[in-house]
């Protein structure tokens, strides 16, 4: 039940064509869905000009095709994350305007101009070259959401001077995302340098006792730098979305 | 070497009382410390009117007394976190103006007016009454840092209607901190309701397979709501500081 | 907003004293709380004659006193779980009618007759004598909820004949709760003997690699007997409540 | 020793052809097997009209062929779970009446009418589309056992209104199975809404710190909703069988 | 149903006072208990001259007093394991003939001569002095069961020559128990030296990553010496009982 | 340095052809190797008539070919464990007398009669059909070592009567090996039935929280039956070798 | 900003062409990079004659080709670690002088003579043949860095005499690296024999509870031999580099 | 049997007062201990002027008193580690010359001058003030072993400039020990700055997901700086002993 339907119901009460009991009956069953729709409306408003986002993982090719076809028909932009190359190739055949980034494993279909948003650029910092896929997922997500992104790559703590050389980029960012595998120490160092919101992303880069990113995750959760927050291992998308939540505050 | 000293050095070069080699000699050894001091200066500026923050845990009574005496002498405000009742009692004897919150286990000493800051209120939401100590630590930290806080208590997901009744508080907040133990599901529900930055704090509330908060932590890291970030178990201070980083953006 | 208020609102629209926009405005804010209240009503109906249940753990003596005083004033029965002996002694001083079970660590205050319910008796089976406290918590919870309980104690799998001797009790039960620590194998054996709903409760009884009950929990989750369900370690209350959910089905 | 043999033994005593000591001697060795057979008889009676259930995993194609051929010869219904597509294709070639569900990875061979049973419908609720395979395994198992199933799909807690819209289905169910991966929070919310028996199934959906479903499992074991029970990760069959145990109570 | 009752039943059949169907009816329900009793008889025979063994942990003082009083009344020997000093002191007051070993935390009450048994001596080897309590529990258990024990103490692998000096003791043993904490490497070295059955006991000796004995346990389970078996952490009693099972084979 | 050499050295001292310092010099370097060789001799004696045993895993085809060729040249029997089918096929081509067991993944090459040994048969008990590969590895190892084996298959605890029907086999065994995955409860039940040495083998059979056999391992380590010992997950060979150590005691 | 630039800046101040504020402005931004460059210089000096080292894992073929081409152009030596055979074959096609070691999974390209360094030989000891790949990675890394290596293979603790026979090699080494999987006990034994620096490398050799090398790692971290240090699982390169750090001390 | 005894034996052979068989007899039993003594002799030589080292943990007061009395009687120096304050007080009463360091929990008894050794100073670096106890244990151990120590305290990575200010101390050290809790990132940064051997010590400083030092341990094992080695959590003694092994190389 949307606002128009609600208005009609009230008008019917006003006109006398619906008595109070009948109206009550309908309103008592006011489906949560409608409240939900209201919530979705807020979301829709929020997402204006923003992409539909689809988690590609664990969806079959036909499922993805069906979903994207429906969504693309609405004319908006589409972002598919965690999409493997094989399914991407098939989808690119069907949607020639779509672009697949094999590092980030994202497919993007841009059908309308992305409206810039956010109070400032988001810096996406990757400790090593192996962390780039996760960083790229964050970058692409942010750009699809309208944010400006500055990428800083290969500034691991074992060569800390490389990081310091990029300090300006960090200082001018509105939000900083730090992506690191292995010991996950980079966010601690960056967090001590800046007062900006910082989102740390552990990656599964490493072997043996990296335990698929757990070492990096624990490093970040136990950071001695105050006020660092963390997302799931390899969750570049989640970090980007968290940065989006922060960066749109006060700007729209 | 602070700015004044650097200025004097340059003035001496300008005046000719110091030759270039001599200046170079002094600048070559420009201690990292000084660069550090510059960094600290940024921090100091940032922290103007903000409390000195001391981690009380693992510090002895005499150590705490010494540190607080020194800091209190500068006239600013002081926040001690994770302070047990016994040490607190001793410190309150020494510093009669200090206040100890036995739930949050924080000691605060306010010697100058706290300057309000932040773009909006921070909502601190606690799933259950047992999560209050962690939530209180966040609240007190935020207030000492100048932020307005709205507390929402006992809105666990097993009685989800209680949460919905407080939706307005969540929607008007600039940042939301959600504190939950046990299964840690509350951030997922809240994250689906709002577009605000959301920081989730797992607590060690629970027993058996809660594993001291690990269950809640994993629940939060794997949240199906996009863009939720997480801090260490029971880290109310860290969540508050992360909220501080976010809330001061664009407001100062 | 309850039904009466909603009716008044619709009447005002009908009468013309409230225009459609004003009604819409109020309905848009239709508090979730009301929906929640409806849900609580269902719950209240469900809980008729049942005890108020309070988790004693992590609540202070004064908090418990305040809560129990309020609840006791309503005249119903009260069950406090996970209550240590010291707090219990204080509460028993304040509420002379209260009974504390030091094994189960429960305090019960019976102010009105417990209405019997459930399709049949619930069997509470404990593998060893050390598992009795958890089994007792289940038993007391069930009895406070109106169920009849048959206890079967010390029938561990290393002396399997002891279990078989009690087979009749198991077969006549409407629900069976099996409480076991160490290797947690008893539910598998019982589950193979009966077709009744079976809830397994791992306990923290054991040492070394029992890991505080994790060994028993894993044993139960991996049971080769079909259709066994499991609750948290030492969660006698939870098992009892699950049995309650099952046993009241079809009986009220 | 079966009943006939036992009868012969007693007849020999009656006739005097066997003295008491000789009979005692033989009865002392009364093989457990016979008791076992009796137990199987109870089971057989119980299972009348129910499918033979075969765990397909870790069985070779020839093994499965041999088992199904034997079982099918008895004319009853057959359910094979956790069967991969390759083996299924071979079996469907051999048993043309068999049906393979590639999502649920189940093969069903229906040779006699399934007798409806159970006090009411079982609701199978899946948090996300990726949880469907596990939910489907539960659904198919339940239907083969004679239960009516209502499926509710894609009602994750991050969009909680979707769940509320289906509240009626939940309220009318005799048993509710809730299937969820990632943070596994859905059972807590559902458990707070209904008084029905609720079986939670964690799934391995997720990545990083989902640890193959451990995050969801822990979420469910630590649920703040009272009386929720849990089965092994991805164990749709087990949840269905537990629901079967509950639903047949009081109905047969 | 004991043998006498069974005899009466058969006599009734013989006499004709009970017909075959009636006898069958009663025998069909032949309680497992009786079979169990037979099993216990075997056990009793087996245990002739052996101590009653009581796990002291998690039993209250009064419970222990009651159990020991009953058992002591039968005149046999008694072994209580995992008994803390406080409870032991009380029990020694009540049973003046009892002996408490504060290292092994065992209480022994010898009322009849222990009958020697076993094919040969059991060697109990402890890697370090901190492992002595667990080794002593094994030694005392073995002696109470009638086995001869040779103790070899402080022969850790970091000073491997100390072990070699005791090789004769190892070679002449019928069974070897090796007790070790920290890295748990000693069983591998001993296992490579002898062809005797070897039972490895990990202890909780260590700190940090010893994880309460898990490191030692894993070391033993992964031993490169063939045919080493392992018991639970700190389970000196269990190792002794396993050695007892081995040593009595072929000797009685 | 063997005894003859040592004798010569002493003779040289006695004769005066070697002075004390020179003898000291040589004795100080008394190589450990010689002590080692003595140890190897014991082993060689022990292994008379026994197979050479090769761990096939992580060895390349050419490596295995080289090792087996060398060993086969000595005329003894050979057992290769954990050998995959592909490498086995190649080896069977080279050694036509070799036999590959695809379930147990063992290759055996029998070139001389296996000498029977051991005080009695070894019972190898497998809980389910999926545990057969591990059980078979134990059986084949034992037979190659000269032991008689009785296999008992598919006697899981959820249908405990099946086990009781085989009780005679268990009672007559000199050693019992119990192989079980999932919850690993079978050894507890068997251990309560017999006084024989019992070696439990956890298997990786299961899914989800079986964690590759950890659940079964923990179940066995925490068994409430006294004196059960455990080997590594899926280590059928190790269990067999431990049984061999036990069974040869007192028989040779 | 290098020294020349700094000199120019000071000269400009001296000349009056730059005022103090302008100089301050530039000095405030004194890039960390320059400090970093100085650090890199140290490194460059250190690395004189040493190979460029590239982690092959997670780099694509084209990425590796580009990196090696650039580096090879400088004329130095190159070491690629953790390189799979397929990528190696392609690179060997492009760089005919390159050598691939399929065991160690290293590719080496030697374009200039390796300058010998280090105070003495490094002993690389491997417990079993399956540990050879990790040991070889260490050996090749050390040789590329200019160190002499003595390899000792297959000296596991279950046949400890084999180790003692090689004691001389261990005693003459300047540093000892001990590589072991399974229970990881070898470093404890070696550490008790020598006073040399010892670096332990756990390997992922094993199965079941070896947990991919965790058992060996824990064994090494908990070693009862004093002063043993440990690197990550399978980290032959890291151990070699640590040995390099030690061996060059005092020698250059 | 020491060298003198061996010499006497050989002299007896030379003199004819002992025949060859008698000498053989005694030599055949040449206890490994004696070989051990030879090894110990090396050690003793090595340890000349070095303290006897006693692990205080898990030793009773009387045990410690007995051990120290014996050792002190030899006139050398004594170091007791992991000694709690209560036992220390008792020992200081008995040995007035002993000194107890309550932070490091070490007791030292210096009876002879400590001979300086080592190629250079050892730097002991602690990330935070809470890491001081572990660092102090390392420092005191090193000083008792004759090494010069430079301590660097409170240089955590969140304020990285503090570390850089101490770079000179790090660069001049022969070995660097880095002690850190929480995320354990400091060794990575230090390791990137210096080419010196670096031993990382994780501490149990932290809470929640620090898991008693596991987070720091994993951070160090996965360090992106090459050639860092690690010891057990809180193992300051072990790190010191490893540094001792390194620092004496080439210096004695």
**Residue B249 pLDDT:** 83
CA distances from E94 to E59, E64, E88, E109, G46 (A): 17, 11, 10, 11, 76
- Three-state DSSP at B16 gives coil
Cβ neighbours of residue F24 closer than 8 Å, sequence gap 6 or more: H3, H6, H7, H10
Chain A residues in contact with H159 by the CB 8 A cut-off are 192
G41 pLDDT more than 80: no
Chain B residues in contact with H161 by the CB 8 A cut-off are 32-33, 35-36, 39
- Three-state DSSP at C35 gives helix
Question: Sign of dihedral through CA atoms A54, A55, A59, A60?
Answer: positive
Chain H residues in contact with B217 by the CB 8 A cut-off are 208-209
Q: In B154-236, which ranges are E strands?
A: 175-180, 198-202, 228-230
pLDDT in tens, G178-208: 999 999 999 998 998 888 999 999 999 999 9
Q: CB contact, 8 Å: C195 with chain F?
A: no
DSSP A91-131: HHHH-TT-EEETTTTEEEE--SPPPP-SSSPEEEEESSGGG
Cβ neighbours of residue G175 closer than 8 Å, sequence gap 6 or more: G120, G122, G123, G196, G197, G198, G199, G243, G246, G247, H249
Chain F residues in contact with H14 by the CB 8 A cut-off are 13-14, 16, 19-20
Chain B residues in contact with A221 by the CB 8 A cut-off are 217, 230-232
Helices and strands, counts by H and E, chain A? 11, 9
Tokens of G37: 């460059």
Q: What are phi and psi of B219, to 5 degrees?
A: -55, -40
Q: CB contact, 8 Å: G145 with chain H?
A: no
C39 vs E111: CA distance, rounded Å: 67
| Least trusted range by pLDDT, from A168-172, D39-43, E90-94, H207-211 | D39-43
Looking at chain B, the whole-number percentage of residues with pLDDT higher than 90 is 54
**Residue A63 pLDDT:** 81
**Residue B46 pLDDT:** 34
CB neighbours (10 Å) of residue A199?
A: 31
CB distance F14–H20 less than 8 Å? yes
- Pair type for strands A99-101 and A78-81: unpaired
User: How big is the CA angle at A33 (ends A32 and A39), to the nearest 5 degrees?
Assistant: 95
The C-alpha of E37 sits at a distance from chain H's nearest C-alpha, in angstroms, of: 45
- Pair type for strands D228-230 and D198-202: parallel
E192 pLDDT more than 90: no
**Residue A157 pLDDT:** 78
Chain C residues in contact with F214 by the CB 8 A cut-off are 218
CB distance B32–H164 less than 8 Å? yes
The C-alpha of G30 sits at a distance from chain E's nearest C-alpha, in angstroms, of: 44
Q: CB contact, 8 Å: F196 with chain G?
A: no
DSSP C88-132: HHHHHHH-TT-EEETTTTEEEE--SPPPP-SSSPEEEEESSGGGH
Task: Tell me which of B189, B208, B211, B214 to substitute to probe the interface with C (most C C-beta atoms closer than 10 Å).
Answer: B208
Chain D residues in contact with B223 by the CB 8 A cut-off are 158, 182-183
Q: In chain E, which ranges are E strands?
A: 52-55, 78-81, 99-101, 106-109, 122-126, 149-153, 175-180, 198-202, 228-230
How much is the ipTM here? Answer: 0.82
pTM of this structure: 0.86
User: Across residues G121-129, what is the average pLDDT?
Assistant: 93
User: In terms of Cα–Cα distance, which of F184, F174, F150, F159 is closest to F243?
Assistant: F174
The C-alpha of B81 sits at a distance from chain A's nearest C-alpha, in angstroms, of: 13
Q: In what order do the strands lie in the sheet with G175-180?
A: G149-153, G122-126, G175-180, G198-202, G228-230, H228-230, H198-202, H175-180, H122-126, H149-153
Instruction: Tell me which DSSP letter residue B128 carries.
Output: S
The C-alpha of G141 sits at a distance from chain B's nearest C-alpha, in angstroms, of: 35
**Between chain A and chain G, how many beta carbons pairs sit less than 8 Å apart?**
48
User: How big is the CA angle at E22 (ends E21 and E25), to the nearest 5 degrees?
Assistant: 85
E179 and E203 Cβ atoms separated by less than 8 Å: yes
Residue of chain G whose Cα is closest to the Cα of H119: G250
Sole residue written with tokens 């006792």: A209
Please report which helix (H) or strand (E) contains residue F177, including its range.
strand F175-180
Instruction: Tell me which DSSP letter residue C206 carries.
Output: -
Chain A residues in contact with G204 by the CB 8 A cut-off are 208
CB distance E31–C164 less than 8 Å? yes
- Nearest Cβ partner for F192 among C159, C191, C206: C159
Chain H residues in contact with G248 by the CB 8 A cut-off are 195
Question: Sign of dihedral through CA atoms G208, G213, G214, G219?
Answer: positive
D143 pLDDT more than 70: yes
Query: Per mean pLDDT, which of E70-74, F188-192, H7-11 is the most reliable?
Result: F188-192
Tokens of E90: 């009380």
CB distance C23–A3 less than 8 Å? no
Sole residue written with tokens 């509470």: C124
User: How big is the CA angle at E224 (ends E220 and E227), to the nearest 5 degrees?
Assistant: 75
Report how far Cα D180 is from the mean position of its chain's Cα atoms.
18
Cβ neighbours of residue A221 closer than 8 Å, sequence gap 6 or more: A230, B217, B230, B231, B232, H208, H209, H215
DSSP E187-211: HHHHHHH--S-EEEEE-----GGGG
C9 vs C23: CA distance, rounded Å: 7
- Nearest Cβ partner for B158 among D158, D214, D225: D225
D174 and D194 Cβ atoms separated by less than 8 Å: no
The C-alpha of H131 sits at a distance from chain G's nearest C-alpha, in angstroms, of: 19
H153 vs D51: CA distance, rounded Å: 71
Q: CB contact, 8 Å: G158 with chain F?
A: no
B178 and B201 Cβ atoms separated by less than 8 Å: yes
pLDDT in tens, A26-79: 664 443 333 322 233 333 333 344 678 888 888 888 888 888 888 788 788 999
CB distance A208–H221 less than 8 Å? yes
G1 pLDDT more than 50: no
Q: What is the mean pLDDT of chain C?
A: 84
**Residue E41 pLDDT:** 31
Confidence of residue E40 (pLDDT cuts 50, 70, 90): very low
Give the CA count within 13 Å in the CB-facing half-sphere of E153. Answer: 11
The C-alpha of D123 sits at a distance from chain F's nearest C-alpha, in angstroms, of: 23
The C-alpha of H29 sits at a distance from chain E's nearest C-alpha, in angstroms, of: 9
H84 pLDDT more than 50: yes
- Nearest Cβ partner for B165 among C33, C204, C234: C33
G91 pLDDT more than 60: yes
Sole residue written with tokens 């607080």: B68
| Least trusted range by pLDDT, from A110-119, A230-239, D151-160, E107-116 | D151-160
Burial of E113 (0-12, 13-18, 19+ CB in 10 A): exposed
Q: In what order do the strands lie in the sheet with H78-81?
A: H52-55, H78-81, H106-109, H99-101
C98 pLDDT more than 90: yes
Question: Sign of dihedral through CA atoms E7, E8, E12, E15?
Answer: positive
CB distance C6–A24 less than 8 Å? yes
Three-class SS string for chain G?
Answer: CCHHHHHHHHHHHHHCCCCHHHHHHHHHCCCHHHHHHHHHHHHHHHCCCCCEEEECCCCCHHHHHHHHHHHHHCCCCEEEECCCHHHHHHHHHHCCCCEEECCCCEEEECCCCCCCCCCCCEEEEECCHHHHHHHHHHHHHHHHCCCCEEEEECCCHHHHHHHHCCHHHHHHCCEEEEEECCCCCHHHHHHHHCCCCEEEEECCCCCHHHHHHHHHHHHHHCCCCCCEEECCCCCHHHHHHHHHHHHHCCCC
G36 vs H167: CA distance, rounded Å: 13
Report how far Cα A129 is from the mean position of its chain's Cα atoms.
22
Report how far Cα C1 is from the mean position of its chain's Cα atoms.
31
Domain C122-248 is of which CATH architecture? 3-Layer(aba) Sandwich (3.40)
Task: Tell me which of F161, F169, F210 to substitute to probe the interface with D (most D C-beta atoms closer than 10 Å).
Answer: F161
Task: Tell me which of G246, G250, G252 to substitute to probe the interface with H (most H C-beta atoms closer than 10 Å).
Answer: G246
Task: Tell me which of H179, H229, H230, H250 to substitute to probe the interface with G (most G C-beta atoms closer than 10 Å).
Answer: H229
User: Across residues F41-67, what is the average pLDDT?
Assistant: 68
G110 pLDDT more than 60: yes
Q: CB contact, 8 Å: G58 with chain H?
A: no
Q: What is the mean pLDDT of chain F?
A: 84
Domain limits, chain H: 53-109, 122-248
The region that residue H149 occupies, defined by phi over 0 for left and psi between -120 and 50 for alpha, beta otherwise, is: beta
Q: What is the mean pLDDT of chain D?
A: 84
Where do runs of H (alpha helix) occur along chain H? 3-15, 20-28, 32-47, 61-73, 85-94, 132-144, 160-164, 167-172, 186-193, 214-221, 236-248
The stretches in chain B having pLDDT less than 70 are: 1-5, 24-50, 161, 165, 250-252
**Residue B31 pLDDT:** 34
């Amino acid at each position: 039940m949307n606002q128009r339907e609600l208005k009609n119901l009230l008008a019917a009460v006003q006109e006398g064509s619906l008595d109070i009991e009948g109206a009550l009956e309908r309103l008592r069953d006011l489906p949560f869905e409608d409240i939900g729709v209201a919530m979705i409306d807020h979301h829709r408003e929020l997402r204006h000009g923003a992409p539909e986002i689809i988690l590609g993982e664990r969806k079959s090719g036909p499922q993805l095709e069906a979903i994207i076809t429906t969504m693309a028909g609405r004319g908006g932009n589409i972002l598919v994350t965690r999409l493997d190359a094989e399914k991407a190739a098939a989808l690119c055949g069907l949607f020639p305007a779509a672009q697949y980034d094999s590092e980030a494993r994202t497919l993007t279909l841009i059908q309308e101009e992305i409206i810039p948003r956010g109070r400032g650029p988001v810096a996406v910092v990757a400790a090593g070259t192996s962390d780039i896929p996760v960083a790229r997922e964050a970058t692409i997500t942010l750009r699809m959401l309208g944010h400006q992104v500055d990428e800083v790559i290969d500034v691991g703590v074992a060569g800390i001077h490389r990081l310091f050389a990029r300090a300006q980029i960090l200082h001018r960012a509105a939000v900083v995302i730090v992506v690191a595998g292995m010991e996950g120490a980079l966010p601690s160092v960056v967090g001590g340098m800046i007062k900006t919101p910082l989102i740390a992303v552990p990656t599964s880069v490493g072997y043996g006792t990296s335990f698929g990113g757990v070492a990096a995750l624990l490093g970040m959760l136990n950071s001695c730098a105050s006020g660092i927050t963390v997302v799931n291992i390899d969750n570049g998308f989640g970090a980007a979305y968290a940065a989006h939540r922060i960066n749109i505050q006060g700007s729209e």
